[in-house]
Amino acid sequence: MIHFCCLISIPMVLVATVASAQDGLSHPRVAGYLPDYRVAAIDPSIGSRLTDVVFFSIEPQPDQPLRHPQWEAAKPLLQSWKKQHGVRVTITLGGWNRSSGFPKIAATPTSRKAFGTEVLKLCQDYGLDGVDLDWEHPQNAREEADYAALIIELKRVLKPHHLTVTAAVAGWQNLPKAGWLALDAVHLMAYDGPKQHSTYESAVADVQRLRDQGMPADRIRLGLPFYGRGITERDKALTYAEIVKKYAPSPEVNEVEGAYFNGPDLIRRKLKFTAEQKLNGVMIWEIGQDAPGDAGLLRVIDAHVRASQR
């Protein structure tokens, strides 16, 4: 394999202008992803338990306007959360099967600048507080360097307008340090690992790996799964709502019929770790998977955050 790390330079002159203090992102943050296919069924009351909602997602493509066909349907809910509870509203660009346009978008200064202009227009037209990038995933050192350069360009464009740039990253993902430092926050996808997909130990290891790459602790949001995944049958997945309805597990249980999930006790343990490490908070994939009422994990998170602020 040919490594490009020594052939590519990140525009360090920009780093000093984009790596300053975050735009008011005090912690702890509770950021929840809301996929477009969940909007109609979401409980509007849960907005009071979030600090950030991330609408998922737009598939970016070169030389095409950034628009989401379901934005108008989602806008009343998202704007009501923003108005009533001060929730910051951002939107994801990319995602698992919506990332094919990133390599070309990030490849040159010209394409990055054009994308930055389009992203700013999107934020202004939609009344957003920023954008969340989700390139799954750069395939080599050149694409990682291009991704860092794209992040730096977006932060340069958005920062004067007090708009944020976050990114969802896997626990194993790499990025040049300049790219990490240009982000206001990282949504660390500390789940979908091998076997028991989101243990306490794997979460700790994912955070440490990110910090070893130069990401400050106070910009890391630890990802919490609101779903279970098969330990050996990897395609087996259950929402936390389905798990509670079918199995009614006790708070300390994290496994049912070969599927591993995060129950209330494990969520509390991860929240304690987040506080001890002075992380920026937590990220949830995704809020539409939660159990309703008192059985919900978001209630556990909200109670913990409120208790910590007393």
Q: Check: CB of residue 169 under 8 Å from CB of residue 189.
A: yes
Query: How crowded is the C-beta side of 254, counted as CA atoms within 13 Å?
Result: 19
pTM, whole model, 2 decimals?
Answer: 0.92
First to last CA, the chain: 54
Per-residue pLDDT of the chain (310 residues), as tens digits, is 333 333 334 443 333 333 333 444 556 999 999 999 999 999 999 999 999 999 999 999 999 999 999 999 999 999 999 999 999 999 999 999 999 999 999 999 999 999 999 999 999 999 999 999 999 999 999 999 999 999 999 999 999 999 999 999 999 999 999 999 999 999 999 999 999 999 999 999 999 999 999 999 999 999 999 999 999 999 999 999 999 999 999 999 999 999 999 999 999 999 999 999 999 999 999 999 999 999 999 999 999 999 888 7
Name 307's Cβ contacts closer than 8 Å, sequence gap at least 6. Answer: none
Residue with tokens 């978001």: 298
Residue 283: exposed, middle, or buried by beta-carbon count in 10 A (0-12, 13-18, 19+)? Answer: buried
Distance CA 118, CA 153 (A): 12
Domains of the chain: 25-226+263-308 (3.20.20.80)
Q: Which of 57, 157, 146 shows the shortest CA–CA distance to 103?
A: 146
Distance CA 162, CA 21 (A): 11
Distance CA 11, CA 114 (A): 17
Residue with tokens 């849960």: 46
